[in-house]
Amino acid sequence: MPAIKLPSLNGSVENYQLRGTPIPVVKPTQPFSRIVYSAAHVVANPLAAGELNQPAAIDWQRTMEYRRYLLEQGLGIAEAMDTAQRGMGLAWANALELVSRTMQETSDIPDALIASGCGTDHLGPNEAQSCDDVIRAYAMQIEAIQKTGSRIILMASRALVKVAKSSSDYERVYREVLAMCDQPVILHWLGEAFDPELAGYWGAPDYREASAVCLDIIGANESRVDGIKISLLDEQKEIEFRRRLPASVKMYTGDDFNYPTLIKGDEVGFSHALLGIFDAIAPAASQALAALSSGNTDRFHSLLDPTVALSRHIFRAPTQYYKTGVVFLAYLNGFQDHFFMLAGHHGMRPPAYLAEVLRLADQSGLLRDPDDAVRRAQRVMFSYGVSE
pLDDT in tens, 69-115: 999 999 999 999 999 999 999 999 999 999 999 999 999 999 999 99
Determine the pLDDT at residue 62.
98
User: What pLDDT does residue 388 have?
Assistant: 60
Instruction: List pLDDT tens digits, range 158-167.
Output: 999 999 999 9
pLDDT at 46: 97
Per-residue HEC secondary structure of the chain comes to CCEEEEECCCCCEEEEECCCCCCCCCCCCCCCCCCEEEECCCCECCCCCCCCCCCCCECHHHHHHHHHHHHCCCCEEEECCHHHCECCCECHHHHHHHHHHHHHHCCCCCCCCEEEEECCCCCCCCCCCCHHHHHHHHHHHHHHHHHHCCEEEECCCHHHHHHCCCHHHHHHHHHHHHCCCCCCEEEEEECCCCCHHHCCHHHCCCHHHHHHHHHHHHHHCHHHEEEEEEECCCHHHHHHHHHCCCCCCEEEECCCCCHHHHHHCCCCCCCEEEECHHHHCHHHHHHHHHHHHCCCHHHHHHHHCCHHHHHHHHCCCCHHHHHHHHHHHHHHCCCCCCCCCHHHHHHCCCHHHHHHHHHHHHHCCCCCCHHHHHHHHHHHHHHCCCCC
Average pLDDT along the chain: 96
- Let me know: does 111 contact 146? Beta carbons within 8 Å: no
Q: Answer yes or no: is pLDDT of 387 > 80.
A: no
303-327 tens-digit pLDDT: 999 999 999 999 999 999 999 999 9
| Cβ neighbours of residue 287 closer than 8 Å, sequence gap 6 or more | 23, 26, 299, 303
Pairing of strands 36-39, 3-7: unpaired
Report the alpha-carbon distance of residue 320 to residue 162 in Å, rounded: 20
Residue 227, pLDDT > 90, answer yes
Q: In this predicted structure, what is the pLDDT of residue 287?
A: 98
What residues have CB less than 8 Å from 222, skipping those under 6 apart?
246, 248, 249
CA angle 315, 192, 135 (to 5 degrees): 125
How far, in Å, CA of 311 to CA of 259, rounded? 10
Residue 35 has pLDDT above 90, yes or no: yes
- Percent of the chain residues past pLDDT 70, beyond the cut: 100
Nearest of 368, 369, 327 to residue 346 by alpha carbon: 327
Evaluated on CA atoms 308, 335, 11, 192, the torsion sign reads negative
* 63/119 Cα distance (integer angstroms): 22
Confidence tier at 49 by pLDDT (50, 70, 90):
very high
Give the whole-angstrom CA distance, residue 327 versus residue 339: 7
Q: 227 φ, ψ to 5°?
A: -175, -175
Give me the residues paired with residue 154 across strands: 118, 187
The pLDDT of residue 386 is: 92
pLDDT digits (tens, 9 = 90+) for 172-193: 999 999 999 999 999 999 999 9
d(CA 243, CA 83): 27
pLDDT-derived band of residue 145, with 50, 70 and 90 as boundaries?
very high
Domains of the chain: 30-305 (3.20.20.70)
Predicted TM-score (pTM) of this structure:
0.96
Confidence of residue 54 (pLDDT cuts 50, 70, 90): confident
For 302, phi and psi rounded to 5 degrees? -65, -30
State mean pLDDT over 11-38: 96
Predicted local distance difference test score (pLDDT) of residue 52 = 81
